[in-house]
Amino acid sequence: MTRTVCSKGGNVYDDQLLVVGTGIRTTGQLTVETIACMQCAARLFYIVADPVAEEVIRRLCPDGAETLYDLYGEGKPRMQTYQEMVDRILASVRSGERTVAAFYGHPGVYAYASHESIRRARAEGFRARMLPGISAEDCLFADLGIDPSANGCQSYEATDFLLNSRSVDNSAQLILWQAGLVGDLTFRRYAYDISAMPLLLEKLSLFYPRTHPVYLYEAPTVPGCEPMIRPIMLEEILTASITATTTLYLPPARATMPDPTYLSRVRLPQG
Ligand SMILES: C[S@@+](CC[C@H](N)C(=O)[O-])C[C@H]1O[C@@H](n2cnc3c(N)ncnc32)[C@H](O)[C@@H]1O
C-alpha cells in the first residue's frame, strides 16, 4: 500500500481522489483515517445533512472545503444533481488537485455520486479509493438492538422497491430507505410529494399484514441525543410523519422455515 505524508503532516493514501464518509454523527463518527485525509485535501467537496457536520468539515480543511449542496434545486431531478456533483469532483481531479469528496453516512451506501466519481476517475486513469463510514443502517442496528444475522436482512430503496418486481422473504428483516421520498425523484427542501405512499402500503401488504409492526427510525446527528424510534402499524405509514431522514424497519412476519433439501445433506452435530 502506498502512503504519503501531506504538507500538513497527516498520513493519507496516495490517491488523486478519495471518497470518504462522515458518519451520521460527524462529531463522533469520523474515523481517524478520514480526518487525516480531509486535513490533507487541496479540495474537499462535501455533502452533509446538518450545520454541525458542515462546521466540523470546514475546520478540518479551512482553505479547501466546498459544499456541493448548492447543486440541489427545488423540484430538480436528483439524478441531474448527482451527475453535476460528479462533474465538479472530476474537474478538480483533472486539475491535479488532491481531491477528497465527503458524503454523510457511509459514502458507498445509497449514494450514486460517490461510486460514479470513483468509476469515472479510474476510467480516466486516476487513482481513486473509497473509505467506509458509519451508515444510518449501522446506527439502526445499534439503536434498535438488532443483528442482520438473526433471520437475515433485506435492504431496499423505497422507490426501487415499489417500481420493481421483488420477492420479499417475510421471514427475514426488511429495511426500507428513503420511504419519505417514495415516488418523488426530485429534490424538495421541505416536503416531498409522497402521493405514492398508498402504493407502497399496497405493495408491502402483499407480504405483511396491515397491522404488522413497523419502526420509524431516525438516528441522532448530534452526540448525546436520543434516536427517534417510533413503533406503528404498517397501515399507519399513510398518516405517520415520515421524513427524508426516516428509515423504515420491518421485523420478520413469520418464523424461518428449514429447507429439507439441504438440511438432510449437511452433517450437523447430533444431540
Ligand atoms: C441517500 S440515503 C444516504 C444514506 C447514507 N449514505 C448512509 O450511509 O446512511 C438517505 C436515506 O438514508 C437514511 N438516513 C439518512 N439519515 C438518517 C438518519 N439520521 N436516521 C435514519 N436514517 C437516515 C434515510 O432512509 C434516508 O432517506
pLDDT of res. 211? 98
Q: What is the DSSP letter of 96?
A: T
Of the residues 72, 104, 192, 217, which is catalytic? Answer: 104
Where helices occur in the chain by DSSP H, the ranges are 26-29, 32-39, 51-60, 78-94, 112-123, 136-144, 158-163, 197-204, 260-263
**Cross-strand pairs, 192:** none
CATH classification of 3-130, choosing from 3.40.190.180, 3.40.50.1000, 3.40.50.300, 3.40.1010.10? 3.40.1010.10
Whole-number Å distance between alpha carbons of 91 and 77: 22
Q: CATH topology of 3-130 equal to that of 136-250?
A: no
CA 247 – ligand 1 centroid, Å: 7
Please indicate whether residue 120 is annotated as part of the active site. Answer: no
Residue 253, number of CB atoms within 10 A of its CB: 17
Whole-number Å distance between alpha carbons of 45 and 29: 18
- CB pairs under 8 A, 24+ apart, for 161-168? 161/200, 161/203, 162/196, 162/199, 162/200, 162/203, 168/206, 168/207
Please indicate whether residue 13 is annotated as part of the active site. Answer: no
Which protein residue's CA is at the shortest distance from atom 27 of ligand 1? 178
Whole-number Å distance between alpha carbons of 83 and 11: 31
Q: What is the DSSP letter of 223?
A: T
Instruction: Say if CB 185 and CB 268 are below 8 A apart.
Output: no
Closest by CA to 238, choosing from 206, 266, 205, 264, is 205
Minimum-distance ligand 1 atom for the alpha carbon of 136: 9
Structural domain spans, the chain: 3-130, 136-250
**Mean pLDDT in consecutive groups of 10 residues from the start of the chain, 271 residues:** 48 88 96 96 94 95 97 97 98 97 98 98 98 98 97 97 96 98 96 96 98 98 95 98 96 96 89 70
Please indicate whether residue 127 is annotated as part of the active site. Answer: no
Q: Which residue has the cell 431531478?
A: 77
Whole-number Å distance between alpha carbons of 211 and 223: 34
Minimum-distance ligand 1 atom for the alpha carbon of 138: 9
Q: Which residue has the cell 490533507?
A: 40
- What are phi and psi for residue 32, nearest 5 degrees? -60, -40
Of the residues 58, 78, 129, 166, which is catalytic? Answer: 78
CA distances in angstroms from 178 to 92, 161, 181, 247, 250, listed in the order given: 30, 11, 5, 7, 14
Whole-number Å distance between alpha carbons of 38 and 44: 7
CATH number of 136-250: 3.30.950.10
- Please list every protein residue whose CB sits less than 6 Å from any atom of ligand 1: 24, 103-106, 109-111, 135-136, 177-178, 217-219, 221, 244-245, 247
How remote is the C-alpha of 251 from its chain's centroid? Answer: 20
CA 54 – ligand 1 centroid, Å: 17
CA 96 – ligand 1 centroid, Å: 32
